[in-house]
Structure 1
Amino acid sequence: MRTAIVGSGAMGQLFGARLSMAGTEVVFLDTNPGTLEALNSRGVTLHTDLGVERTPAKAARASELEGEFGLFIVFTKGFHTQAAVDSVSHLIGAESIGLTLQNGLGNAEVLQQAFGAERTLLGMTDFPADMEEPGIISSNSRGKVRLGSMSQNSPAEEIAQLLDTAGLHATVDQDIRVPIWEKVTFNAALNTLSAVTGMTVGQIGHDPHARNLVRSVVDECTAVAQHEGIGVSRERIERSLANAFAHHTHHKTSMLLDREAGRLTEVDTIGGAVVRLGRKAGIDAPVLSTLCELVRAITAPPAGN
């Protein structure tokens, strides 16, 4: 299946490399000239507990390509989803499948407009991916992918098998909203708090005041999820947080890295999306709302710019 990785950051490079090593024809799509040059010249090198693995890569701007792709896996930031899908519209055929493994909420609805409900898949992954430089990725082999669809008649099983064969440990969930919301809750707590405070995951875990804020955000997110009819597990969320506090002590969240680099953050598609849904349902989320406003305040361009 000719596969396009839409957004070739750390996670896109990890997934594209794994699929390529398993024999799938993969093209990495991106707009960053440095990323494209690095991938085309050096390929992707993965550093994991399995050792060092390398694969050649083909990378391009979407506008440079022709012909249909069978599968599009979208890894862009949420605020780029619409533009990313628009950029590949000429490569989408009647049988093409769109899969979002992005953080946050609302991405699948964008893909559905281009691919249709039956050929839109959504999911989550807990594979870590850190990029030393374009084409050099650190990860491990213990992550997993959980995916599902917005329709009963979907190719979810086929795509899960493709990913699983590539060592990406994919399974199909009957209600994919549950793991997505559990990850959104996890990210809403850690990403917003780390972006505001500058704290690593381990520092948050060791600080009782920060842990209290995390618990409050989890309370607020689970209340909104339950109102939406999504049976998230507080126990699973807390287990994921405890694992992160214990094993990812020096990790900086993506939102903190974006803040430090002066980039836009995904606050509006992660914590902000939960706050908006809560307001529509009459559910207040004061802690998460405040953290989101603080992220916006400290990442906004200086006044007058």
Structure 2
Amino acid sequence: MKEIKTVSIIGLGALGVLFGHHLSKRMPKGNLRIIADKERIDRYRSEHVYCNEERCDFQYVTPEEQADPADLLIFAVKNDGLTDAIQACKNHVGEHTIILSALNGITSEAIIGDTYGMEKVLYCVAQGMDAVKAGNRLTYDHMGMFCFGERDPDEELTEKIKAVAEFFDKKEVPYQIIPEMFKHLWSKFMLNVGVNQTVAVYGSNYGEIQRPGQARETMIAAMREVMVLSEKEGIHLTEEDIEYWLDVLSKLSPEGKPSMAQDLEAKRFSEVELFSGTVLALGRNHGILTPVNEKLYNRIKAIESEY
């Protein structure tokens, strides 16, 4: 596997800005490319993009521009933008490109793999960041990290994993290699179902779910419904997985908040179908009631109906 020298990122939400800005200070400008359509690029150039009050210095490219394939391609879009993003990246994918998808949920890797081949894809989650994005400005206390690996535990240190780890070491990107990454993907999904939806419905922040009270109880109850469903799906999440995420959450800035809460505040449509929508569908498939997620789903849909 060749050394990673060039990186392309699609998606300048919180995660794209955060890690893009970090890499831009550690790579030649021409080796890091942000893929976006012309309208977005014009806006980024006129209004600029800021990360912790620093102006980001990005090289932007449109999907139509010819480009050498990236050694590493990072998807950082929302799920409803994934189909378009896959097509927008076609000039950046070559024989040796490694792909990381930092999207929420449990399906993006397979969807990307359908187009570009699963042999290029590493399973990945981004976790532990407490970034808040308002307009073109991102602020954070904890940048979090990438967790990545192959789907199954018997593929612990493939050449793709070694290449990404070596690159992240050089560029000071926090990361963790996870031996059983598909299970961790489900585990992160369980977290998102709990924390994203609860903070959004309560109109609060991480501080609200870090302390004892109704919001924290709601979050944990929503996570437990995913835990029960995981057994039926052969994933086998446990209370230890919930405790792991409660520890992660305890270290975040109390003033921070997940993306769904930021979406509802800005009157944007959220990823509720990805979270409780998926839980409700799985519950129906397995004949299991998921009342906490049903309540969260209905409340978020009601908020969005008032836009």
Same fold, judged at TM 0.5 (above): yes
Q: What one-letter code is carried by the residue in structure 1 that aligns with 2:12?
A: S
Report whether the alignment pairs 1:166 with 2:171: yes
For residues 139 and 211 of structure 1, do their structure 2 counterparts lie closer, same or farther at Cα, with a shift above 3 Å needed? closer
Q: Give the aligned partner of residue 118 of structure 2.
A: 117
Q: Specify which of 108, 128, 131 is matched with residue 133 of structure 2.
A: 131
Which residue of 1 is the match for residue 85 of structure 2? 84
Counterpart pick for 1:199 among 194, 204, 207: 204
Structure 2 CA distance, aligned partners of 1:67 and 1:142? Answer: 29
- 1:176-204 C-alpha deviation (Å, 9 max, x unpaired): 12322222112111211222232323234
Distance 1:299 1:154 in 2: 45
CA distance in 2, matches of 1:53, 1:117: 37
Q: Over residues 252-271 of structure 1, what are the superposed CA-to-partner deviations in whole Å (9 max), with x where a residue is unaligned?
A: 32112111212121112223
TM-score under structure 1 length normalisation: 0.84
- Measured in 1, the distance between the counterparts of 2:246 and 2:45 equals 34
Aligned to 2:289: 284
Distance verdict in 2 for CA 1:222–1:206, change over 3 Å: same
Which residues of structure 1 form unaligned runs of 5+?
Answer: none
Deviation (angstroms), 1:159: 1.5
TM-score (norm: length of structure 2) = 0.83
Residue aligning to 1:98: 99
Which of 214, 222, 228 aligns to 2:233? It is 228
Residue 258 of structure 2 corresponds to residue 253 of structure 1:
yes
How many residues in Structure 1 have an aligned counterpart in Structure 2? 296
The match for 2:36 is: 30
Q: Is this contact kept in 1: 2:17–2:51, CA < 8 A? A: no
Q: CA RMSD in A?
A: 2.9
Amino acid at match of 2:131: A
The answer on whether the counterparts of 2:6 and 2:32 sit within 8 Å (CA) in structure 1 is: yes
For the pair 1:66 / 2:67, whether they are aligned, the reply is yes
Map 1:138-177 onto structure 2 (within 5 A): 138-140=139-141, 143-150=144-151, 152=155, 155-177=160-182
State the 1:281 CA deviation.
2.9
Say whether residues 1:20 and 2:24 are aligned partners.
yes
Contact map agreement 2:276 2:297 (CA 8 A) in 1: yes
Q: Is the CA contact (8 Å cut-off) linking 1:96 and 1:115 kept in structure 2?
A: no
One of 4, 7, 10 as aligned partner of 2:8: 4
Could you say what secondary structure the match of 2:273 adopts?
coil
232 and 166 in structure 1: CA distance in 2 versus 1, 3 angstrom threshold: farther
